[in-house]
Amino acid sequence: MAIISDAHIIDGLKKEGEYFFDILFNSYFSRLKAFVFEYVSDEEVAKNLVQDTFVTLWMRRKELDEAININAWLYSTAKFHCLNYLRNVKVSNAFREQSKISKLQAELNYYSLSELDTSDLTFKEIERIVEDTLEQLPEQCRKVFMLSRFENKKNREIAEELNISVKTVESHMSKALKTMRVALKDYLPLFIHFI
């Protein structure tokens, strides 16, 4: 399985623009929206904040350092937009009236999100733990997990490719996710959306 490096994506984003932007958008939009939704409790607001994240990416694509971790950059930018929204909900009556969350909930979510570490170092640590955990999984379980999470294949497709039943695929995925949750217990707010 060939995984495109962050440096290659950033370089492509700078030179070819739209093609690599589409790759990132399609790969991350749903995950980022789920991450933001945890704090804003409103599908439409979450969608708009993630769109703002991708607008920021597009506007700043020429300035990006090829050494950045794209996961960390996208989650940090989404976190920034989310914190701005929550700050406005806490302060502004107009925002509060439009929001589906109370002032107290906005304050709690703001605090929780502001304490969440979305740094490059954190994402490198998550990636290291995922790699180490994958190595510990039985071979068939590892294959199922990688086909599902890294190649975005559906259970039926995985079953056909590996010549096993869909129930067996589901069993392997359940085992892999449980193992990952235990290994990444200290990073659960990010892990839930990372994989």
Question: At what angle are helices 120-136 and 139-149 packed, to 10 degrees?
Answer: 140
Question: How high is the pLDDT of residue 47?
Answer: 96
**Do the domain assignments include residue 112?**
yes
Are 46 and 141 found together in one domain?
no
**Three-class HEC string of 101-143:** CCHHHHHHHHHHHHHCCCCHHHHHHHHHHHHHHHHHCCHHHHH
Burial state string for 26-55 with b = 16 or more CB within 10 A and e = fewer than 16 = ebbbebbbebbbbbbbbeebbebbbebbbe
CATH number at residue 82: 1.10.1740
| Per-residue pLDDT tens over the stretch 71-123 | 889 999 999 999 999 888 777 655 555 566 666 777 777 777 777 777 777 77
pTM comes to 0.63
Question: How high is the pLDDT of residue 191?
Answer: 61
Q: How many independent structural domains does the chain possess?
A: 2
Are 189 and 136 found together in one domain?
yes
**Do the domain assignments include residue 1?**
no
**What is the SS3 assignment for 85?**
helix
| Per-residue pLDDT tens over the stretch 145-174 | 988 877 778 899 999 999 999 999 999 989
Are 13 and 102 found together in one domain?
yes
Domain span including residue 152: 122-194
Using the 3D structure, point to which of 66, 84, 116 is the last residue of a domain: 116
Using the 3D structure, point to which of 86, 116, 146 is the last residue of a domain: 116
